[in-house]
Amino acid sequence: MSVPPNLAPFDLGEEYRVPHEQIEQYKRDGHIYLPRVLMKETLDYFRPFFRQIMDQQNKHVRKWDERDPEGKKESITVKYLHRYSVGVIPFILARRLGKIAADLLETDSVRMLGNYGVYKEPGDKSTRWHQDNNHIFLDTDRTLTIWIPLTDITRHMGTMVFLSGSHSLNDREKGDVKNLAHAIRKGLPEVNYGAMQAGDVTVHSGWTLHTALSNTSEQTREVVTLMYFADGARFLSHDKMKELPRSIHLARPELEIKAGEVAKGPDYPIVYQRM
């Protein structure tokens, strides 16, 4: 996956400098809120491409066996958006966003781990509490996710909630449920940044426990999430891969994964590299 020529509009090539105090907050809490990362015009340009992908793939991901008895679901999730439209690749591989990941991961080079469209329709229920690193094939703690609303969102549309400090609970063997119980026993505080304007983003560590609230509004919450990791990470060993929980959202069984080897190649492109 690479950025097609002449398809990198607006501010995506310009670097965004994460303030030092927010880098320190990220280290402490495992999450941050960054305002005005992208221009509204940038999102307005790319939003139709994402909308078309989500509409086309909707029929494949909306299955009744994924709903509860009341017919509700957590969200419509489509992974690897770049496979469906070349038009979204400049956004997914944006140097501007990769620089944020590199600053927070404190590395000179970051790679793309995954990209997802996560749309919550009116009435969709809360997402289950989880830690992303419990559902990926990499043997590393140095991953993060940038959560990007494509429009202005209100608190009622299914905003993110984080457990501050839960990124210290990085025991993969315990999994989401036991680590969540540990976080509750410790009394770790919940943080919800509330309403966000188009162009604002949140960033959270791969070990930060998080959820997205139910959508009680009358509008669909349109979000794209981009996952990054510090260059040099290796795939899990065969034994550790067997312990991974089944995950519709983050598992990557269709990709070539070589146990124990460094993750690289076209499926894991370098998004940002310091000169």
Positive or negative, the CA dihedral 80, 83, 84, 85 is positive
CATH code of the domain containing 125: 2.60.120.620
Q: Does 183 reside within a domain?
A: yes
pLDDT of 187 over the 60 cut: yes
pLDDT of 190 over the 50 cut: yes
In this prediction, residue 201 carries a pLDDT of 98
Q: Give 56's contacts (C-beta < 8 A, 6+ positions apart).
A: 84
Among residues 15, 47, 16, 14, the alpha carbon closest in space to that of 152 is found at 47
CA distances (Å), 3 to each of 68, 92, 107, in order?
Answer: 40, 9, 22
DSSP string, 201-240: EEEEETT--EEE----SSS-EEEEEEEEEETT-BBPPHHH
Instruction: Please give the share of the chain, as a percent, with pLDDT higher than 70.
Output: 86
Neighbours of 147 (CB within 10 A): 22
Distance CA 32, CA 142 (A): 16
Total count of domains within the chain: 1
Q: Does 88 reside within a domain?
A: yes
In this prediction, residue 258 carries a pLDDT of 78
Give the pLDDT mean for 20-32.
Answer: 97
Instruction: Please tell me whether residue 110 adopts helix, strand or coil conformation.
Output: strand
Q: Does 262 reside within a domain?
A: no
Q: Does 252 reside within a domain?
A: no
pLDDT of 65 over the 50 cut: no
Q: Does 40 reside within a domain?
A: yes
Burial code (b: 16+ CB inside 10 Å, e: under 16) for 182-216 equals bbeeeebeebebeebebbbbbbbbbbbbbbbbbbe
Give the pLDDT mean for 23-41.
Answer: 96
Return the higher-pLDDT residue of 18 and 69.
18
Give the pLDDT mean for 13-19.
Answer: 89
Q: Give 107's contacts (C-beta < 8 A, 6+ positions apart).
A: 142, 230, 231
pLDDT of 250 over the 50 cut: no
Helix, strand, coil % over all residues of the chain, rounded to 5:
30, 25, 45
Domain coverage including residue 170: 20-247
Neighbours of 115 (CB within 10 A): 23
Distance CA 222, CA 250 (A): 18
Under the banding of pLDDT at 50, 70 and 90, the label for residue 34 is: very high
Q: Which two tokens stand for residue 161?
A: 């909630």
Max avg pLDDT among 54-68, 116-130, 228-242, 258-272: 116-130
Integer distance in angstroms from the first to the last C-alpha of the chain?
A: 21
Q: pLDDT tens, 120-171?
A: 999 999 999 999 999 888 999 999 999 999 999 999 999 999 999 999 999 8
In this prediction, residue 245 carries a pLDDT of 58
In this prediction, residue 64 carries a pLDDT of 40
In this prediction, residue 12 carries a pLDDT of 87
149 neighbors 256 (Cβ within 8 angstroms): no
Q: Does 273 reside within a domain?
A: no
Under the banding of pLDDT at 50, 70 and 90, the label for residue 204 is: very high
Q: Does 256 reside within a domain?
A: no
Q: pLDDT tens, 209-239?
A: 999 999 999 999 999 999 999 999 998 887 7
Q: pLDDT tens, 67-124?
A: 555 556 888 899 899 989 999 999 999 999 999 999 999 999 999 999 999 999 999 9
Q: Does 268 reside within a domain?
A: no
**Average pLDDT of the chain to the nearest whole number:** 88
Distance CA 91, CA 46 (A): 8
150 neighbors 53 (Cβ within 8 angstroms): no
Among residues 116, 155, 100, the alpha carbon closest in space to that of 248 is found at 116
Burial of residue 21 (number of CB atoms within 10 Å: 0-12, 13-18, 19+):
exposed
